[in-house]
């Protein structure tokens, strides 16, 4: 396609069986690519994820090349490509393997960097976004994503604390419930998709298999709660601190055996 400026393939966690954190990241990556496929199918925004991204040279030159003033160049380039009228395709197969972080501390540093970079792109390009440079569908898609991924998680913790203090239901319970419900459905769909696409597993979709997928979805949903704390922390920090380009390097140990 002439206007496809980049392609993002699914990221698979190479050390997924190791522990709770890596299993959670495996489910998270499947949720992400499932949502990405749905967004691009209706004319929304496809996003780059660093590992597994392929960028057309013409598109990269057209939007100004790589940005050195960001800590997440993939997210920054995503916005600039769409502002320059390029599309990004997201595909489930083939996957590219990536080593997941194995403990809460490493996950905290990594996700804080992702959250800060995600926020920063809105702050850097808000005027062009509001001018509808990307087109109506992409602009609305981006704004809805911002609400569900950034604003709602940030508001959820104070909303819950106020509900406990005042002995009343949370004000955002309906919207938060809808967002969580969509995440559960997307995660289950992603897990089912990769299960059916795996040759040794594709003919084994029995009731017991669906139970396993459901349990994996519940575990992944529990893992995803870390985003509530990450987004609240990042929002508070960025509200008082100027833009910074410092980030903590993620330590990788390597994996001995490849899976999926």
> Could you read off the pLDDT of 133-153 as tens digits, one per residue?
999 999 999 999 999 989 988
What's the angle, vertex CA 87, arms to CA 183 and CA 49, rounded to 5?
50
Q: What is the pLDDT of residue 251?
A: 62
Q: What is the pLDDT of residue 259?
A: 41
Express each pLDDT in 5-38 by its tens digit. 999 999 999 999 999 999 999 999 999 999 999 9
pTM value is: 0.88
User: For residues 213 and 208, what is the distance between their CA atoms, to the nearest angstrom?
Assistant: 9
Q: What is the pLDDT of residue 131?
A: 95
Six-digit token string for 85: 């009228």
Q: What is the mean pLDDT of the chain?
A: 89
Beta bridge partners of residue 98, listed in sequence order = 13
Most confident residue range from 76-85, 201-210, 236-245 = 76-85
Q: What is the pLDDT of residue 201?
A: 55
Least Cα distance to 93 among 10, 206, 209 occurs for: 10
* Domain spans in the chain, listed from the N-terminal domain onward: 4-240
Six-digit token string for 145: 């994503």
Instruction: Compute the average pLDDT of residues 73-90.
Output: 96
Is the model's pLDDT at 225 over the cut of 60?
A: yes
Q: What is the pLDDT of residue 141?
A: 96
Q: How many CB atoms lie within 10 A of CB 107?
A: 20
Rounded to 10°, the helix 226-240/207-224 angle is 20
Q: What is the pLDDT of residue 258?
A: 45
Is the model's pLDDT at 75 over the cut of 90?
A: yes
Is the model's pLDDT at 255 over the cut of 80?
A: no
- If you write DSSP's letter for every residue of the chain in order, what string do you get? -TTEEEEEEEEEETTTTSSHHHHHHHHHHHHHHHHHHHHHHTT------STTEEE-HHHHHHTTS--SS-S-HHHHHHHHHHHTT-EEEEEEEEEEEEPPP-SHHHHHHHHHHHHHHHHHHHHHHHHHHHTTTT-HHHHHHHHHHHIIIIIHHHHHHHHHHHHHHHTS--TTHHHHHHHHHHHHHHHHHHHHHHHHHSTTTTT---HHHHHHHHHHHHHHHHHHTHHHHHHHHHHHHHHHS------PPPP----SS---
User: For residues 194 and 217, what is the distance between their CA atoms, to the nearest angstrom?
Assistant: 13
Is the model's pLDDT at 192 over the cut of 50?
A: yes
Instruction: Compute the average pLDDT of residues 175-204.
Output: 82
Beta bridge partners of residue 87, listed in sequence order = 4
């Amino acid at each position: 396609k002439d206007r496809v400026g980049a392609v993002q393939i699914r990221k698979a966690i190479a050390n997924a069986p190791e522990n709770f954190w890596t299993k959670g990241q495996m489910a998270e990556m499947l949720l992400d690519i499932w949502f990405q496929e749905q967004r691009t199918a209706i004319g929304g925004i496809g996003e780059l994820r660093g590992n597994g991204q392929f960028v057309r040279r013409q598109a990269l030159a057209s939007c100004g090349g790589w940005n050195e003033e960001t800590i997440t160049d993939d997210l920054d380039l995503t916005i600039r490509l769409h502002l320059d009228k390029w599309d990004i395709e997201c595909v489930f197969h083939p996957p590219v393997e990536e080593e997941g972080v194995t403990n809460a501390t490493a996950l905290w540093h990594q996700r804080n960097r992702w959250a800060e970079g995600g926020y920063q792109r809105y702050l850097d390009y808000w005027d062009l976004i509001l001018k509808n440079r990307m087109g109506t569908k992409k602009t609305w898609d981006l704004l809805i994503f911002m609400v569900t991924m950034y604003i709602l998680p940030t508001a959820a913790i104070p909303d819950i604390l106020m509900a406990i203090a005042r002995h009343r239901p949370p004000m955002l319970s309906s919207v938060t419930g809808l967002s969580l419900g969509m995440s559960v459905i997307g995660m289950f769909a992603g897990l089912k998709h990769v299960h059916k696409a795996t040759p040794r597993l594709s003919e084994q979709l029995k009731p017991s298999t669906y139970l396993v997928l459901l349990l994996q979805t519940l575990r992944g949903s529990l893992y995803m709660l870390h985003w509530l704390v990450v987004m609240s922390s990042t929002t508070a920090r960025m509200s008082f601190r100027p833009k910074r380009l410092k980030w903590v390097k993620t330590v990788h140990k390597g994996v001995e055996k490849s899976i999926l």
